Structure 1
Amino acid sequence: MADTTSTFASLPADDLSRGATLVDPDGPGLTHLAIGPGTYTILFSGSQTGGAYALIDMLVPPNSGPPPHRHDFEEMFHVLEGELEVTFRGETMRLKAGHSLNIPANAPHGFRVASATAARFLCLCVGPGQEEYFETVGDPLPSRTAPAPALSPEEVTAKRALALSLAARFHSEFLPPPH
């Protein structure tokens, strides 16, 4: 029988300063943000995961989604409800409930909700930081299902300008729309 104890000898000790964290997306104490017409709920931030990742619950209405962009972190989508059209490096694919998709770091991509109803999906960002970007550009909301505030055209323009001006600070880049 092989000695397996040496296999694990290089693992660090359990970090007892960190505990398990259980969240209810509809429970108290979470950050809910209006990002465009969608509601993004920060389930786990980088500060809660030892800097490993951030997990965001996204509820986005039909025909909505970000413009083409890219960033220096891995991003994974897991669709819970509805459907997304994700464009990755110029190719469009449809994700339905139960589908998951990984986007490699630095790859151009974007998404749009393709279902007649809102899409709910999880967005995993490895490493974290995107949640801080959303906290900086988003508007606080009272719950995961609260609608985004109605913004005037001037407010929409100001929000877009803020998002564009801060993108590089958060290791992101917005790209021109496809032709």
Structure 2
Amino acid sequence: MADTTPTFASLPAELPADDLSRAATLVDPDEPGLTHLAIGPGTYTILLRGSDTGGAYALIDMLVPPNGGPPPHRHDFEEMFHVLQGELEVTFRGETMRLRAGQSLNIPANAPHGFRVTSATAARFLCLCVGPGQEEFFEAVGDRLPSRTAPAPRLSSEEVAAKRVLALSLAARFRSEFLPPR
């Protein structure tokens, strides 16, 4: 079978000009002005929005306590997790794998998945969404927090139910689908 991997010789002869209207974006996850959101029991900090990356991706710093994580779901964008501390149990297409600090996992678009923090302490990881938009979903359903390490507010069962209804009602608008638990 012939190798169809592109080579430098098969790439376009000229790259487009540098887009001088775009600047490099340096972000510190603890700097003032970033958006910190309570999503379930976790705190999600939006590091880079689609508007910061020319619509290419969004980057979110996630700090999730033990046993925290979303229900099974899927969406039409690629998602990558890179674990900075702690451990995650990720279920991908029905199979479970464990991610530890230093490891990365890419979830292909439209694939059913979910995660749960299995370490005894909170897990911190980066979530890269290619293309962007997930940060807008989190802003629509989350509660604003003062910092990256601020705990999520304790919600009543009625408030949790209302958040669930809101998330379900917005899922399609943000190209996502929540799936029944396995």
TM-score class normalised by the smaller sequence: over 0.9
Return the match for 1:13 from 13, 17, 29: 17
Q: Give the 3-state SS of the residue equivalent to 1:151 in structure 2.
A: coil
In the superposition, the TM-score normalised over structure 2's length comes to 0.93
Q: Does 1:98 align with 2:99?
A: no
Structure 1 consecutive aligned stretches of length 4 or more whose deviation exceeds 2 Å: 6-10
Aligned residues between the structures: 175
Q: Give the 3-state SS of the residue equivalent to 1:156 in structure 2.
A: helix
Offset, 1:152: 0.9
Distance between the aligned counterparts of 1:7 and 1:71, measured in 2?
A: 31
Q: Give the 3-state SS of the residue equivalent to 2:50 in structure 1.
A: coil
| Equivalent position of 1:32 in the other structure | 36
Percent identity (aligned): 87
How do 1:1-179 and structure 2 match up within 5 A?
9-178=13-182
Structure 2 unaligned blocks of 5 or more? 1-7
Deviations 1:121-170 (A, max 9, x none): 00000000000000111001000000001111110100010001100000
Distance between the aligned counterparts of 2:46 and 2:170, measured in 1?
A: 19
In the superposition, the TM-score normalised over structure 1's length comes to 0.95
Structure 1 unaligned blocks of 5 or more? none
Please, what is the CA RMSD of the aligned residues?
Answer: 1.5
